[in-house]
């Protein structure tokens, strides 16, 4: 008797969609990571699920606790034994992925549901190979600890396309050291000083909100990022904030809407 083989990646979208709808939130996010077809079907079903933020807690036992307020459940996800979250700092997140770094400037991406890890090039080797500001960076690395990576000193952005696996990472330390890396690059790109306070990414463009309240736009689609001058409508537009008595701005964040409008969230 011949054996009939079934390709699970090519299930009828209606059948697959019906299966995805019956999964718990944790299993739903795991299932969409199976292949590009499953991910595409899951996107069409995401609108049927209520979107809300989860709370994440890191255990020293190499696991994460995810609290789902919708289901009022806590899910424990086990990770690789070598990951000690007490010595890691979460810089940013995108969908199911976290951007993490440790005190030796070792960066990696982590899928909190599947445990998949993507290692990024070491910043330590990159910086030690540069002569400009070498002594300052070497001293910073040798005395760094996770507490240095605070929201007040570090701005970062992570973008991930879960269907294709493409990703872009950018981070800035103390507004003066801006770096970017995207899938396929050989190493980090040093973008110089842009006085970066906050960043956002959309359609191959990095939007940098500066300490002078201007927005710079960097095109990351090529081999090396280039600043967009003539095509930047915000370059000479200073974002002013009129504070009312008793008000205080703790943080400023740049955000991009689905239509491409740039917003400053305070």
Domain boundaries, the chain: 7-49, 56-82, 85-265
Measuring CA to CA, how many Å separate 57 from each of 27, 50, 78, 170?
19, 22, 12, 24
Answer for the pair 253, 264: CB distance below 8 angstroms, yes or no. yes
Q: What residues have CB less than 8 Å from 231, skipping those under 6 apart?
A: 217
In which residue ranges of the chain is pLDDT below 70?
1-9, 44-51, 59-62, 80-82, 124-153
**Helical axes 13-21 vs 36-46, angle rounded to 10°:** 60
Q: Is residue 30 helix, strand or coil?
A: helix
Q: How far apart are CA 122 and CA 107, in angstroms?
A: 7
DSSP notation for 153-192: TEEEEEEE-TTT--EEEEEEETTTEEEEEETT-SS-EEEE
Per-residue pLDDT at 91? 87
Q: φ and ψ at 172, to 5 degrees?
A: -135, 135
Any idea what DSSP says for residue 199? E
The CA-CA-CA angle for residues 78, 81, 87, to 5°, reads: 95
Q: Is residue 124 helix, strand or coil?
A: helix
Per-residue pLDDT at 144? 47
Q: How far apart are CA 196 and CA 177, in angstroms?
A: 9
Per-residue pLDDT at 40? 76
Residue with tokens 């083989």: 5
Q: What's the burial of 132, exposed, middle or buried (CB within 10 Å: 0-12/13-18/19+)? A: exposed
Per-residue pLDDT at 64? 76
Per-residue pLDDT at 200? 94
Predicted TM-score of the model (pTM): 0.76
DSSP bridge pairs for 206? 201, 218
Q: How far apart are CA 37 and CA 10, in angstroms?
A: 7
Per-residue pLDDT at 102? 79
Residue 109's nearest CA partner among 207, 25, 183, 52 is 183
Per-residue pLDDT at 240? 79
Sheet holding 196-202, edge to edge: 196-202, 205-210, 215-219, 226-228
Per-residue pLDDT at 129? 43
**Which tokens go with 10?**
């090519």
């Amino acid at each position: 008797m011949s054996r009939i083989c079934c390709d699970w990646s090519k299930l009828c979208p209606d059948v697959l969609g019906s299966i995805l709808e019956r999964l718990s939130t944790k299993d739903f996010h795991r299932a969409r990571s199976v292949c590009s077809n499953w991910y595409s079907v899951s996107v069409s079903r995401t609108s049927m699920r209520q979107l809300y933020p989860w709370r994440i807690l890191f255990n020293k036992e190499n696991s994460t606790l995810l609290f789902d307020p919708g289901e009022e459940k806590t899910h424990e996800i086990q990770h690789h034994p070598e990951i000690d979250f007490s010595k890691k700092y979460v810089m940013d997140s995108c969908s199911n992925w976290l951007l993490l770094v440790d005190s030796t400037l070792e960066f990696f991406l982590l899928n909190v549901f599947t445990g998949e890890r993507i290692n990024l090039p070491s910043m330590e080797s990159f910086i030690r190979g540069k002569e400009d500001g070498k002594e300052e960076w070497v001293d910073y690395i040798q005395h760094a600890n996770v507490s240095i990576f605070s929201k007040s000193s570090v701005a970062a952005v992570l973008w991930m396309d879960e269907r294709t696996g493409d990703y872009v990472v950018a981070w800035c330390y103390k507004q003066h050291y801006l770096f970017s890396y995207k899938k396929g690059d050989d190493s980090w790109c040093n973008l110089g000083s842009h006085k970066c306070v906050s960043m956002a990414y959309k359609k191959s463009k990095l939007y940098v909100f500066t300490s002078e309240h201007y927005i710079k736009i960097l095109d990351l689609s090529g081999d090396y990022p280039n600043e967009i001058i003539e095509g930047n409508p915000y370059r000479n537009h200073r974002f002013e904030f009129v504070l009312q008595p008793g008000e205080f701005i703790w943080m400023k964040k740049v955000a991009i809407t689905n239509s491409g409008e740039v917003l400053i969230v305070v």
